[in-house]
Amino acid sequence: MLPEEFLQRMQSQLGTEYEAFRGALEGERHRALRVNPLKGGLGPSEARKRFLALSPWRLEPVPWEENGFYYTQEGPGKHPYHEAGVYYIQEPSAMAVAAFLGAQPGERVLDLCAAPGGKTTQIAGAMQGRGLLVSNEIHPQRARILSENVERLGIRNALVLNELPQRLAEVFPDWFDRILVDAPCSGEGMLRKNENAGEEWSAENVVNCARRQDGILDCAAAMLRPGGRLVYSTCTFAPSENEGSVGRLLQRHPEMTVLDPARCLPEGALPAHWGFAPGRSDWATGAAVPELSRTLRLWPHRLRGEGHYLAVLQKDGVSPGRAGSLGGTEKGLSEKDCREYLEFAADTLTNPPQGIFLRFGEQLYLAPVDMPALRGLHVLRPGLHLGALKKNRFEPSHALALALGSGEAQRLCPVSLSGERQGDMPGAADYLGGATFPFAGEKGWYLVTVDGYSLGWGKLAAGIMKNHYPKGLRKM
């Protein structure tokens, strides 16, 4: 049931398009996945080609994301490729946002409201493991889900935080090259996708969300360096949360300018067939504000996706150089303090990932160089989790396995997509279920792979492969 007050407002907004809009909300939603360009050690274009050659599903491109593909059959969420982080299941309209952010390798990028991780993982693919991606989520449980998705997709350069935006603004003034604010909103654009969204909608919540968005955007503006780019997005149709939020930001922060979104794409044009519509300032302000017509609305009756809104903004000025965080940078451990890991790496890896070592209890992480000081921040994941430093030994993490390409491990244990053993090759379902199995080879740690994609660890001793797939993830 769609709220009557919501429908009346939408009829007033859309006029002659209202019936088409209403029909779209009552129709089938579109499902899509996005190929992870970090997986397989091949580079973005080759990773995409390889997945398309292996995919068991009929796929159709999402026009605004080169790694995005519509699917219609059931199964991608339960496939071994999903457990290996080969792709991320994501609503197709949501894929547009990171494309306009345009994150580049080597930059400092902040995803301020990042859970569950769809846009963070998309940004990470664009950064190709270089630079620092700070992914923050204010709600603890959602922050844990974000951290799990960062791990599953093998992201090495992400700092996952559970912090208030106001706290981050204190620590990182004028610091980030690019910031994404995918703001908490009333969720009107998800009414077709989420059956309960209609029951949860209220006009009061729209007002509360708009007020909350103002505070979040103020923090983002403070953290963006001069010349940096901010992308604001929501999944709602409410003008007060869309054009209204951007318009109020411009009033409070005259240093912010709305960019022409077409100029933010590599091709320098916004294809008409995508179905994107310009923002409507008159819906929010009662007057025509030229800057707000450069924002974008994604309507479910104009394209194959749910409702979304986005605006691309730039902070005036030129940064004189990279600002430091107020606490400085992490110095990292010396190699002698990581002896057990280095011995493991020499025996098991061909090309160990590079960075600085950080230790939390017995857990060892690899962080990007110039990682900002973490003291006083609520950190869930400070880079790539390497594993645990035990007494006189090292136990590798599942995160390290998922971050490696098959060419980065000295010993491999391939498993088949089949649920059963194929000759000498164990089945992926057996491995994901936690089974041990006979295997021929020298003793030691093995990277378990499916079709060349890393899936987890196994440890061989006396001809038996001990299963190190995490117990909490096992599929029985």
Q: How far is CA 276 from CA 114, 258, 331, in A?
A: 24, 17, 46
134: its two tokens? 């700070």
**Residue carrying the six token digits 């117990």:** 471
How would you classify the pairing of strands 444-450 and 412-415?
Answer: parallel
The one catalytic residue among 113, 219, 235, 413: 235
| CB within 8 Å of 339: residues ≥ 6 apart | none
- 265-290 burial: b if 16+ Cβ within 10 Å, else e: beeeebeeebbbeebbbebbbeeebe
Closest residue by Cα to residue 297 from 347, 261, 323: 261
Transcribe 341-375 into DSSP letters: HHHHHHHHBSS---SEEEEETTEEEEE-TTPBP-T
Active site residue 235: yes
- 364-392 burial: b if 16+ Cβ within 10 Å, else e: bbbbbeebbebeebebbbbbbbbbbbeee
> Rounded to whole angstroms, how far apart are CA atoms 152 and 163?
22
> Catalytic site residues?
235
